[in-house]
Each structure stands twice: as structure tokens, then as C-alpha cells.
Amino acid sequence: MISTKNLILIGGGGHCKSVIDVAESAGYSIIGILDTKENVGKQILDYFILGTDDDISKFIDKALFVVTVGQIKNAELRIKLHDKVYNAGGRFATIIASTAHVSKYASIDEGTVIMHNVVVNADAKIGRGCIINTFSNIEHDAVIGNYCHISTGAMVNGNCEVGDGAFLGSNSVMVNGVSIANGCIIAAGAMVRKDITVKGVYSDNPAKLKIKL
Ligand SMILES: CC(C)(COP(=O)(O)OP(=O)(O)OC[C@H]1O[C@@H](n2cnc3c(N)ncnc32)[C@H](O)[C@@H]1OP(=O)(O)O)[C@@H](O)C(=O)NCCC(=O)NCCS
């Protein structure tokens, strides 16, 4: 029987450090970290890198997993690592920082981490494998797809929709009721005021297409 409070983290970079702090605050026991071969044996904060992602199967009956690789330009690596866990028969934790407020009327899928000081309001829906980063705000009735990164301080207002694999930069804002397409990158500080239907990199206020992806 897996203890649902034991965790294996996959990815040992900067984002991993932030997730360690969040997971500890939420009462998890971290068994260790999986990273690349050259980093095995190194220590991240109080925890050791025990192996690589080829060792996932060794832990499936001991712990839940969370992918702690960061995500700026696209979600590819994070999706690949999630698939590796699913294919090995592993299960994911859904982690909510002690300082976050998540409405009892909101839903959050597995593998998603809600970082410190986030607010997720009533009837919001967040998909699997997302990073909802420090001080971001997911307002009522907003829908966040799978494998999204909502960066520090980003503001997703009521009834907005964020497509799968999208990235919202720090302090970006989606005004009420707008949507962005799958895989879009919204630059730090951008203001999304109309629906974005073409996959691309967008910046400025109002958000403009910089690069089509
Ligand atoms: C959008 C982003 C991903 C583009 O990164 P990049 O591909 O390395 O691109 P560059 O920095 O070379 O910028 C490309 C162009 O976009 C513009 N640009 C980049 N970021 C911008 C921003 N936040 N606002 C306005 N314009 C921006 C640049 O001026 C440049 O324009 P130019 O070609 O006319 O000179 C990046 O700038 C960004 O905003 N990252 C988000 C960082 C963040 O929020 N991290 C949070 C982690 S929790």
C-alpha cells in the first residue's frame, strides 16, 4: 500500500527547490529526487538525487510522484516525464501549499502543484500536471487545461480559458472571459484582452502576436 504522503520528485533544478518547500508545508514526506545521471548522489536542499527517470518503476509502490521540472517555452519535457510515470504504473500527488486558498468548489487534477499564496476561486477547474505558481490568481469559473504553467503573479480572471500546454508569464493578465489557444506563450506583463486563437508568442498591452509557433 503506497503512503499517499510519500513523494518522489522528478527534476532537480530551481523549480524543484520551490516545490520542496511547498510539499513540506503540505505535510508530505519527500523520499528523494530523480534527475539526470551526472547528478545522481547530489543533494538538493535536504534531499538526495536517488536515480534517473529510468528508475521510476522502483518507487511506484513506495510513493506518489510529482514532476518538478520547470516550464517556460513549452511543456514537452514535462509531458514526456508524466507519460513515463503513467507507463510505469505510477500515480501522481496533487499538492496544495499551506498558504494557498483553494475553494472547496474548485477542482484540481493530479500532478498539479499549487504554490504558495495562490488563490483558486469557486468553480475554477485546473487540469493535470500544471504549475500554478506563487501569488497567481485563478478566478471563479476559469478553466486551465493540462500541463499549463501559470507563472508568479499571473492573473487569470473569471470565466477565462487557458488551452493545454500554455504558458502565462509573470504578472500577465487575462481579462474576464477570454481564452488562449493550446501551447501559447504569453510574455511576462502582457495583457490579454481578446481571445487568442492562433498558437504563438504574445506580448505587450494589448497582447500582440510576436512569433507564430
Ligand atoms: C516571452 C518570452 C518567453 C520570450 O523569450 P525569448 O524567446 O527569449 O525572447 P526575447 O527575450 O529574445 O524577446 C523576443 C522579442 O519579444 C520581446 N519581449 C520579450 N519579452 C517581452 C515582454 N515581457 N514584454 C514585451 N516584449 C517582450 C523582446 O523585446 C523581443 O522583441 P524584438 O524582437 O522586437 O526585439 C520571455 O521574454 C518571457 O516573457 N518570459 C517569461 C518569464 C517569466 O514570466 N518567468 C516566470 C517563471 S515563474
Q: How confident is the model at residue 3 (pLDDT cuts 50, 70, 90)?
A: confident
Q: In what order do the strands lie in the sheet with 173-174?
A: 101-102, 119-120, 137-138, 155-156, 173-174, 191-192
pLDDT above 80 (res 156): yes
Rounded CA-CA distance 202/21 in Å is 31
**133 CB less than 6 Å from ligand 1?**
yes
pTM of the shown model: 0.96
**189 CB less than 6 Å from ligand 1?**
yes
Q: How confident is the model at residue 1 (pLDDT cuts 50, 70, 90)?
A: low
Q: How large is the average pLDDT for residues 122-131?
A: 98
Chain mean pLDDT for the chain: 97
Q: How large is the average pLDDT for residues 103-113?
A: 98
Give the per-residue pLDDT at 74: 87
> pLDDT tens-digit profile of 71-100?
877 899 999 999 999 999 999 999 999 999
Q: In what order do the strands lie in the sheet with 47-51?
A: 43-44, 47-51, 29-34, 6-10, 64-67
**204 CB less than 6 Å from ligand 1?**
yes
Q: How large is the average pLDDT for residues 110-122?
A: 98
Closest atom of ligand 1 to CA, residue 169: 44
DSSP state of 29: E
**Is the distance from CB of 90 to CB of 56 less than 8 angstroms?**
yes
Closest atom of ligand 1 to CA, residue 171: 44
pLDDT above 90 (res 188): yes
Buried b (16+ CB within 10 A) or exposed e, 123-146: bbbbbbbbbbbbbbbbbbbbbbbb
pLDDT above 80 (res 2): no
Residue from 203, 205, 209, 211 whose mutation best tests the ligand 1 pocket (most atoms within 8 A of CB): 203
pLDDT above 90 (res 19): yes
Q: How confident is the model at residue 213 (pLDDT cuts 50, 70, 90)?
A: very high
pLDDT above 80 (res 112): yes
pLDDT above 70 (res 23): yes
Which of 1-10, 154-163, 172-181 is least confident?
1-10
> pLDDT tens-digit profile of 42-64?
999 999 999 999 999 999 999 99
